Structure 1
Amino acid sequence: MTDWFITLPPVSQALAATLFTWFMTALGAGLVFLFKTINRKVLDGMLGFAAGVMIAASFWSLLAPAIEMAEQEGGSLPAWFPATAGFLMGGFFLWAVDKILPHLHQGFKTSEAEGIKTGWQRSTLLVLAITLHNIPEGLAVGVAFGALAADLPSASLAGAVALALGIGIQNFPEGTAVSVPLRREGMSRLKSFWYGQLSGLVEPVAGVLGAYAVISMRPILPYALAFAAGAMIYVVVEEVIPESQLARNTDLATVGAMLGFAVMMTLDVALG
């Protein structure tokens, strides 16, 4: 870990980390310049891998530290309460956004778009679905780095870096999963890449906002960590896993999820 990064304030670290996760999305989207299509089995394995990373990150990097912080802080509420309340609030938030923001999941007809009905193009709706997916990821990274300002034993720079690395790794296949299908539907390579990387730009925004929020209001820190976990689990269960099962490549998707979970768990335990 370089000295310049260590000396940055937590908000700047959150920005740098989420710019990295965005870069990994752009790198994955760049595969559209090499391939016009992607094998569905490969795509399902990649989606499963992303789901595994997000599930592992939700516990190892967010929920477990939230419970530890609540225990260290003490107070009248039991230690499990902030984690439970924040987790459910995160899921409810994504559910509400899901009902409002127009978006379309891969493999569905345009008429099956969710959210408020609009006349937007199919490509825009597809990108918005991944953008919605990326909000909790950026928020999770931002909250993890913002927690460093609280100077609690359970909040470590190495753990926050491990989370950013895990999210970045799974963002690579996500970028590919956006840009290549857009290319297959007739969009130019450059436009497909542009929309693919654009879906990840929400992460630096969410990351900085998350870091600022927990630094400004330290008592909400355990709730904020659990909130990000709940939002990520909602996305995994509502979007990522169902999409990985559409072509019935269930074994590949499951193996991908197991590998993703193992990679994120290893990163968090080894570095955190």
Structure 2
Amino acid sequence: MEIFETALGWLVAAAFLAGLVDAVVGGGGLIQIPALFAAQPGVAPATLFGTNKFASVFGTANAAWRYARRVEMPWRTILPAAIAAFALSYAGAAAVAWLPKDAVRPLILILLIFSAVYTLLKKDFGQLHRPAHSGRRELAYAVLLGGVIGFYDGFFGPGTGSFLIFLFIRFFGFDFLHASAGSKVVNVATNLAALAYFLPAGHIIAALAVGMAVANVAGSITGTWLALKHGSGFIRIVFLVVVGVLIVKFAWDTFAG
């Protein structure tokens, strides 16, 4: 019991920090998943991933709701993207069987480096909210973006929120604040799709999942408040930090492995 309580305390703290970071720019999985594997080394990976998704979906949904109350949400873009992401995340999960993750790891590393360099060099990137599409073109781009991100999240996952923010800014003309808000809705969809597999299969540690979910929501409240208070400039800085951490992680996994 004492060991369980110690693990729960450690994971609750990790879930709070993950919820905070995820509410701003995504990337909470960088904190929460390693914490789960470190605290529960004897548990099957699928169960740890299911526990992570259960905790995350509540924090992400809370962040989406809080953004929607304060930011004019671009629903015509993000809802089709969310629906496509939900559908394609199943295809991404199925692709694991025939396409090894290690085969795409170098490509993800290159894309992360490109995102970081592009954001650094283009100083006005994501500073102004100027939606670039409308009508059928907006719908087509939204479905395409959501489908690609949904497939990636089902197949691999790390950095999904950060990729979403970059793509919303680059291809739809959003600023960092609106891109972060929109990414939460799409992330909720992909998390629900994952849970549709994990929960019926029993891949969850209920006691840990509930405690981490509460902490994740608390973190998301803090993160959303910071993002709304400080705006796009603050989100841009956190985005670059998180993408930098992702680059280091993927480089280590690619070359050290």
Same fold by TM-score greater than 0.5: no
> So what's the TM-score if we normalise by structure 1?
0.29
